[in-house]
């Protein structure tokens, strides 16, 4: 049997290389061991994902620094993407961010808007829309800041962030300066979220900043301990770099914003490298709070004091560190109620050598990291970024999807176990707060494809009653994963229109109560990694063919629209109930 | 089996110690109680004698023995450590090593094992008790010496001695590879090992000529024994480390293959094969062999633990649990079994059972940190926040600088609206994080 000499050599090498020493490095990684992987439950996952990017016409690569080496951290962080229906035709369009290359002009490296042709294909309308931009874009938030009925875009960048006003005719106008959002040029905006923090009916804006970065003065790989990873020279940081200051801008209701970072208390959090922002009501008091995933520093949770100010309580509430109180390199964040207890939970993605964090909301916005108990801690090999907690197979239980990709292309030659391009991670919710990883290609070969991914967004681009996935891959074209679900699973989509509250209904909570389960979601303007999802909330209903729908608008008022049949998109206008029902053919 | 060996071994120390002492009058009473088997009374009398006499390594050792015979292992260790501070008696060192190995305190037992290794050849009682510890502690090179002693001793069956030598050689090879990786030129030599592995070759000597060119004190016919003699003077030399990793790897192969040829039906060999399969991720085959051994040779040391750990590695908590329970029944002091049972119960979501199992164990003495954390987690999961807080505050007294305790208390106080206490724990948590 296996007592061969070769077996010995294999065993010796595996044991030996596992003990390789890890020197000081720029990224926080607590070296968390992966938990044992349980035997398959046998519960089927009935979705299959197919990469339809080329068919859809998404052929242009997302440029972000060189592919084979990264001199600066600026080239590694990457960017997000969005599903947004910019022309209100009822079909999700695609907005992709982009970086560029240091000292190498690349006209083709631009943010891109793709119009949905309603036949599975998209047309590049970047030039026509006025969204052409060459620079280092990072994050995007979608929301109607002037309540004119058309979703606007806010884009964070290294340099000046940009507010694009949607003109309603397929074009956008850069209104950043006019809106009072100009900032010093060397700031590096990353996360951003439209949020009506003072509940006045106008969307305000929160922006997280990563660091103050200047390529002219930045250290080069290997120059000091924060520029090494396992003793290999790599780009420096974020440790050793100046931490970012975060900003809150109040919407004045006249197309302009006022910087209230100091008076709101946001300015007091000065020790973090901010990335993805998710604004939601975590303590169920009816007011939006703000969570910021932070790289190599404790994550932040700004709790709303109901008077225009915030208090930062990430640590006290258990979402700043992992369950053992260790610092992590947080990248992305997703928010949903994965265990159907009516409270919003948080998923945070982290660096390699760490597992994702799954912060279970115990009550009143106090969390416990349940990644291990939930079955997520079986994976610690990859740097994880964009993520979603959403029902991908319409069984009524929110699943988890995560994209991955390393930040150091240089290390793969010496450490083949740390490749640049890595697979997607899919965890099937099997009930009672437990997940099971779908391995290999059983949910489609596209899940196992290797890319260096960053942001991802969830939405139904083909209007067939499920959630498809759009993924940013650095220096490659994006991936569009079409979801095909076996028949027999019901669903419900809900589009919300605010009237007294903000028109985009961002921050509105929806509870869908069907015979099998009670699901709670909130409409978010950013999540995943620096990305924005389809604003039509999607609920899988499993075998249930109808459900009760209750809406809590952002002013705290509840509105129930009664029993609704499954398998349709309903539009609810604040105070008017259901104003539209659309049944789609699959 | 191992417990019986330990007791027999410890018992052999009594006459040695008692006759070697110059016994004072008040210690004589303690000795009488000890000899009569009244260990609790003996311990009290020895405590009194220790308190009233000038420091005596022998009195402290006797006190430790009295504790040890009552199962008070942590107090026994304390006494032996105190005795060694007074005088380095070899027997005290051996008793301390036995206790530390029994409690699996491998990081602290390593220096003791290094000092004891050479004496084992003349101590047939101690050899079988302590030799397994060399495979588990960080004593790879000492383990090779012990393997040689076992090979020439009659204390262990020959097949088991060969397997021991194979395991010790593998440990040594892994140790040399990890040392090699720390050197700047390590990757160059590692490539020779990888090349042999990838080619399916048993010959990993491809870099010998390079090593000899690099370090002329080496030669092509270097033996493992010669290399180990050279090691103290050249511990950072990648050439020597590479050759030692190859030579000890070859020794591992030879020992196991010799065992396979001479004792093909050895249950120890089958157990070793199962462990190798488990390490290679071939869990089904490993499970098959283990379960067969459980029927045919249930007395094999570590067998239940190995199977339980195999199930644990697959997340099969319900199958691991009864094996850990059987392990605990066989040795009520086995901390690994207690830890395993607790982990299984928590993972299975059987929080009530976890509380029932752990709570009595936290009543006396200083509980281990994991037990404090597991018990408080079980209470927390059941929504019994005040009891979770109570467990953690008791744990806080034993581990005042443990950040995990402060971290958990901080959230539980926040959850129960005890803001002031939450703030206090927050400060302690942050203080603990400072370098």
SS3 per residue for A176-217? CCCCCCCCCCCCEEEEEEEECCCCCCCCEEEEEECECCCCCC
Question: Which residues of chain B does A373 touch, with a Cβ-Cβ cutoff of 8 Å?
Answer: 346-347, 349
Query: For residue B307, is pLDDT > 70?
Result: yes
Q: Nearest-CA distance from B349 to chain A in Å?
A: 8
- CA closest to A367 among chain B residues: B411
- CA closest to B423 among chain A residues: A316
Q: What are the backbone angles phi and psi of residue A62, rounded to the nearest 5°?
A: -95, 100
Beta strands in A364-478 (DSSP E): 366-369, 384-390, 399-404, 425-431, 434-437, 453-459, 468-473
Contacts of A222 (CB under 8 A, 6+ apart): A228, A233, A234
A3 touching B (Cβ < 8 Å):
yes
- CA closest to A316 among chain B residues: B411
> Measured between CB atoms, which of A11, A324, A366 is closest to B276?
A11
Q: Which of A1, A2, A3 best probes binding to B when mutated, by most B CB atoms within 10 angstroms? A: A3
Q: Which of B276, B282, B380, B421 best probes binding to A when mutated, by most A CB atoms within 10 angstroms? A: B276
Q: Nearest-CA distance from A316 to chain B in Å?
A: 6
Position A18 scores a pLDDT of 38
> Measured between CB atoms, which of B190, B202, B315 is closest to A6?
B202
For chain A, positions 38-77, list CB contacts with chain B under 8 A: 38-39
Rounded CA gap, B3 and B7, in Å? 6
B268 touching A (Cβ < 8 Å):
no
Position A547 scores a pLDDT of 98
Question: Which residues of chain B does A9 touch, with a Cβ-Cβ cutoff of 8 Å?
Answer: 193, 196-197, 202, 204, 249
- CA closest to A4 among chain B residues: B253
Q: Nearest-CA distance from A59 to chain B in Å?
A: 38
Contacts of A390 (CB under 8 A, 6+ apart): A334, A336, A398, A399, A401, A458, A467, A533, A538
Q: Nearest-CA distance from B354 to chain A in Å?
A: 15
Verify whether the Cβ–Cβ distance A317 to B411 is below 8 Å.
Answer: yes
Residue entry with tokens 């501070």: B85
Residue B314, CA distances (Å) to A33, A37, A442, B311 in order: 14, 5, 20, 5
Mean pLDDT of chain B: 89
Q: Calculate ∠ Cα B269-A12-B158, nearest 5°.
A: 25
> Measured between CB atoms, which of A12, A36, A367 is closest to B249?
A12
Rg (CA), chain A: 22
Position A1 scores a pLDDT of 42
Verify whether the Cβ–Cβ distance B380 to A364 is below 8 Å.
Answer: no
- CA closest to A371 among chain B residues: B347
A430 touching B (Cβ < 8 Å):
no
Band (pLDDT 50/70/90 cuts) for residue B372 is very high
> Measured between CB atoms, which of A4, A12, A317 is closest to B177?
A12
For A442, counting Cβ atoms within 10 Å of its Cβ (0-12 exposed, 13-18 middle, 19+ buried), the class is middle
CA atoms within 13 A on the CB side of A459: 30
CA atoms within 13 A on the CB side of A303: 16
Question: Which residues of chain A does B257 touch, with a Cβ-Cβ cutoff of 8 Å?
Answer: 3
Contacts of A557 (CB under 8 A, 6+ apart): none
- CA closest to B279 among chain A residues: A11
Verify whether the Cβ–Cβ distance B194 to A13 is below 8 Å.
Answer: yes
For chain A, positions 180-239, list CB contacts with chain B under 8 A: none
Q: Nearest-CA distance from A91 to chain B in Å?
A: 43
Verify whether the Cβ–Cβ distance A37 to B314 is below 8 Å.
Answer: yes
Q: Which of B185, B197, B205, B388 best probes binding to A when mutated, by most A CB atoms within 10 angstroms? A: B197
Verify whether the Cβ–Cβ distance A36 to B313 is below 8 Å.
Answer: yes
Position A9 scores a pLDDT of 56
Name the range with the highest mean pLDDT among A276-290, B25-39, B177-191: A276-290
Question: Which residues of chain A does B187 touch, with a Cβ-Cβ cutoff of 8 Å?
Answer: 414
Question: Which residues of chain B does A5 touch, with a Cβ-Cβ cutoff of 8 Å?
Answer: 202, 253
Position B197 scores a pLDDT of 78
- CA closest to A34 among chain B residues: B313
Rounded CA gap, B291 and A558, in Å? 60
- CA closest to A432 among chain B residues: B349
Rounded CA gap, A521 and A508, in Å? 8
Interface contacts A/B by beta carbons within 8 Å: 124
* pLDDT tens profile B84-118: 999 999 989 999 999 888 877 888 898 899 999 88
Contacts of B58 (CB under 8 A, 6+ apart): B17, B20, B21, B83, B89
Position B435 scores a pLDDT of 61
Question: Which residues of chain B does A19 touch, with a Cβ-Cβ cutoff of 8 Å?
Answer: 174, 177-178, 181
What does the pLDDT average to over B223-233?
Answer: 94
Rounded CA gap, B299 and A69, in Å? 57
Residue entry with tokens 């409690």: B103
B79 touching A (Cβ < 8 Å):
no
For chain B, positions 356-415, list CB contacts with chain A under 8 A: 380, 403-404, 406-407, 410-411, 414-415
Tell me the average confidence (pLDDT) per consecutive run of 10 residues in chain A, 586 residues long.
52 47 60 84 95 98 95 96 98 98 89 98 98 97 98 97 98 98 86 98 98 88 88 91 95 98 96 97 98 97 98 96 91 98 98 96 96 94 97 98 96 89 98 94 94 98 98 98 92 98 98 98 98 98 98 98 97 98 83
Closest CA to A192 of A170, A150, A164, A214: A164
Q: Which of A1, A35, A316, A357 best probes binding to B when mutated, by most B CB atoms within 10 angstroms? A: A316
Verify whether the Cβ–Cβ distance A19 to B347 is below 8 Å.
Answer: no
Rounded CA gap, B179 and B173, in Å? 10
Contact A113, A98 (CB under 8 A): no
B246 touching A (Cβ < 8 Å):
no
Question: Which residues of chain B does A12 touch, with a Cβ-Cβ cutoff of 8 Å?
Answer: 170, 173-174, 177, 193, 245, 249, 252
Q: Nearest-CA distance from A9 to chain B in Å?
A: 6
Question: Which residues of chain A does B249 touch, with a Cβ-Cβ cutoff of 8 Å?
Answer: 8-9, 12
User: Which own/partner pairs from B364-368 qualify as long-range (CB within 8 Å, at least 24 positions apart)?
Assistant: B365/B74, B366/B74, B366/B398, B367/B395, B367/B398, B368/B335
Closest CA to A30 of A409, A330, A285, A455: A330
Query: For residue B15, is pLDDT > 50?
Result: no
Position A410 scores a pLDDT of 93
Question: Which residues of chain B does A37 touch, with a Cβ-Cβ cutoff of 8 Å?
Answer: 314-315
Rounded CA gap, B71 and B91, in Å? 19
**Residue B202 corresponds to which tokens in the numbers above?**
């048993």
**Residue A569 corresponds to which tokens in the numbers above?**
């998109």
Q: Nearest-CA distance from A21 to chain B in Å?
A: 7
* pTM for this entry: 0.84
Question: Which residues of chain A does B177 touch, with a Cβ-Cβ cutoff of 8 Å?
Answer: 12-13, 15-17, 19
């Amino acid at each position: 049997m296996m007592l061969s000499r070769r077996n010995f050599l294999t065993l010796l090498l595996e044991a030996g290389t596992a003990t390789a020493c890890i020197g000081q490095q720029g990224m926080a990684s607590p070296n968390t061991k992966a938990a044992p992987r349980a035997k398959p439950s046998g519960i089927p996952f009935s979705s299959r994902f197919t990469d339809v990017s080329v068919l859809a016409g998404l052929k242009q690569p997302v440029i972000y620094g060189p592919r084979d080496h990264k001199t600066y951290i600026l080239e590694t962080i990457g960017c997000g993407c969005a599903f947004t229906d910019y022309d209100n035709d009822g079909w999700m369009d695609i907005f992709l961010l982009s970086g560029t290359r240091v000292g190498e002009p690349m006209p083709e490296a631009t943010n891109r808007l793709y119009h949905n042709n309603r036949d599975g294909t998209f047309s590049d309308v970047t030039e026509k829309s006025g969204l052409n931009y060459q620079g280092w874009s990072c994050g995007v938030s979608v929301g109607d800041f002037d309540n004119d009925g058309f979703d606007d875009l806010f884009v964070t960048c290294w340099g000046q962030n940009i507010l694009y006003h949607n003109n309603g005719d397929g074009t956008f106008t850069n209104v950043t300066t006019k809106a009072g959002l100009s900032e010093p040029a060397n700031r590096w905006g990353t996360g951003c979220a439209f949020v009506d923090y003072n509940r006045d009916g106008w969307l305000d804006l929160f922006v997280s900043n990563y660091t103050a970065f200047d390529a002219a003065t930045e250290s080069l790989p290997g120059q000091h301990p924060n520029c090494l990873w396992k003793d290999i020279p790599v780009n420096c940081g974020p440790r050793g770099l100046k931490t970012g200051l975060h900003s809150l801008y109040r919407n004045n209701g006249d197309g302009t914003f006022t910087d209230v970072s100091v008076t709101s208390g946001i300015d007091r959090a000065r020790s973090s490298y901010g990335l993805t922002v998710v604004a939601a009501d975590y303590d169920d008091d009816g007011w939006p709070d703000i969570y910021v995933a932070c790289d190599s520093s404790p994550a932040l949770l700004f709790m709303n004091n109901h008077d225009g100010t915030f208090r930062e309580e990430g640590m006290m509430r258990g979402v700043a560190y992992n369950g053992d109180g260790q610092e992590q390199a947080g990248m992305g964040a997703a928010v949903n109620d994965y265990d159907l207890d009516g409270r919003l939970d948080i998923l945070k993605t982290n660096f390699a050598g760490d597992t994702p964090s799954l912060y279970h909301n115990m009550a009143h916005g106090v969390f416990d990291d349940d990644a291990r108990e939930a079955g997520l801690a079986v994976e610690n090999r990859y740097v994880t970024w964009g993520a979603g907690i959403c029902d991908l197979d319409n069984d009524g239980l929110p699943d988890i999807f995560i994209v991955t990709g390393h930040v150091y292309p240089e290390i793969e030659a010496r450490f083949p176990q740390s490749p640049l391009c890595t697979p997607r991670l899919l965890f099937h919710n099997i009930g009672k707060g437990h997940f099971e990883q779908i391995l290999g290609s059983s949910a489609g070969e596209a899940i196992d494809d290797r890319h260096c991914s960053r942001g991802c967004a969830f939405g139904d681009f083909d209007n067939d009653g499920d959630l498809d996935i759009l993924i940013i891959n650095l220096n490659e074209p994006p991936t569009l994963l079409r979801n095909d679900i076996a028949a027999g699973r019901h669903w419900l989509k809900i589009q919300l229109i605010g009237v007294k509250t903000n028109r985009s209904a961002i921050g509105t909570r929806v509870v869908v109560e069907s015979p099998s389960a009670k699901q709670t979601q909130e409409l978010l303007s950013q999540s995943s990694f620096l990305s924005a999802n389809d604003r039509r909330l999607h609920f899988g209903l499993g075998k249930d063919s109808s459900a009760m729908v209750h809406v809590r608008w952002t002013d705290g008022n509840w509105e129930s629209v009664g029993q609704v049949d499954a398998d349709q998109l309903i539009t609810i206008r604040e105070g008017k109930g259901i104003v539209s029902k659309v049944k789609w053919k699959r | 089996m191992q417990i019986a060996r330990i007791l027999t071994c410890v018992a052999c120390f009594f006459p040695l110690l008692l006759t070697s002492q110059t016994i004072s009058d008040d210690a004589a009473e303690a000795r009488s109680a000890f000899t009569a088997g009244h260990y609790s009374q003996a311990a009290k009398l020895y405590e009194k004698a220790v308190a009233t006499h000038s420091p005596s390594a022998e009195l402290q050792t006797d006190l430790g023995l009295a504790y040890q015979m009552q199962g008070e292992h942590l107090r026994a260790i304390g006494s032996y450590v105190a005795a060694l501070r007074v005088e380095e008696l070899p027997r005290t060192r051996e008793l301390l090593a036995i206790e530390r190995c029994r409690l699996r305190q491998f990081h602290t037992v390593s220096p003791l094992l290094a000092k004891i290794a050479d004496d084992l050849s003349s101590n047939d009682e101690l050899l079988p008790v302590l030799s397994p510890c060399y495979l588990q502690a960080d004593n790879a090179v000492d383990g090779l010496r012990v393997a040689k002693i076992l090979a020439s001793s009659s204390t262990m069956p020959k097949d088991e001695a060969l397997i021991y030598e194979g395991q010790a050689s593998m440990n040594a090879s892994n140790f040399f590879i990890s040392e090699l990786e720390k050197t700047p030129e390590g990757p160059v030599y590692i490539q020779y090992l990888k090349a042999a592995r990838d080619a399916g070759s048993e010959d990993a000597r491809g870099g010998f000529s390079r090593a000899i060119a690099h370090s002329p004190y080496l030669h092509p016919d270097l033996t493992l024994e010669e290399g180990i003699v050279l090691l103290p003077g050249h511990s950072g030399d990648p050439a020597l480390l590479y050759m030692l990793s190859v030579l000890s790897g070859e020794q591992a192969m030879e020992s196991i293959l010799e065992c396979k040829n001479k004792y093909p039906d050895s249950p120890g060999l089958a157990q070793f094969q199962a462990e190798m399969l488990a390490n290679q991720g071939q869990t089904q085959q490993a499970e098959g062999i283990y379960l067969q051994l459980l029927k045919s040779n249930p007395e094999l040391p570590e067998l239940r633990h190995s199977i339980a750990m195999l199930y644990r590695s697959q997340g099969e908590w319900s199958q691991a649990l009864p094996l850990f329970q059987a392990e605990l029944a066989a040795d009520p002091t086995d901390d690994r079994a207690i830890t395993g049972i607790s982990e299984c119960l928590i993972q299975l979501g059987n929080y009530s059972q976890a509380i029932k199992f752990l709570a009595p164990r936290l009543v006396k003495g200083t509980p281990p940190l994991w037990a404090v954390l597991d018990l408080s987690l079980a209470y927390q999961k059941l929504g019994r926040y005040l009891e979770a807080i109570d467990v953690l505050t008791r744990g806080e007294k034993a581990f005042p600088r443990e950040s995990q305790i402060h971290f958990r208390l901080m959230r539980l106080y926040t959850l129960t609206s005890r803001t002031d206490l939450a703030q206090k724990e927050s400060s302690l948590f942050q203080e603990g994080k400072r370098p």
